[in-house]
Structure 1
Amino acid sequence: AFQRLWQHQHVASPPSLLDGLLGLGVLGGALLVGGVVTAGAVAFVGMGIAKLKK
């Protein structure tokens, strides 16, 4: 039973690893997009404040 469980885990390993990499890729992409959007928003607000001060 233990050997069968290990064998099953071994067979299921590649897809879970692939899912993990895919998840990391999606998470990284989301963080990258979020960072770009945040930076853009900060720059936009900063420009708006600079224009208001002038």
Structure 2
Amino acid sequence: MKTSVSFQSNGLKVAGHLYTPADLQPGEQRPAIVISHPFGGVKEQKMEAFFSQHL
């Protein structure tokens, strides 16, 4: 499942997409991988192609 998320970091708003498995249960913890573009990249530059086919 894809969820839009955002938070403040050092005075800047950071936004992204959180992908979670469809069978994730409330309170369940699983390992995570964080992938980011280099500085100046935006989430719309198709990072989701990495995840959509694996969830």
Q: By the TM > 0.5 criterion, same fold?
A: no
Give the TM-score, by structure 2 length. 0.20
The structure, 1 or 2, with the larger RCO (C-alpha pairs under 8 Å, 6+ apart) is 2
Larger Rg: 1
Greater helix content: 1
Greater strand content: 2
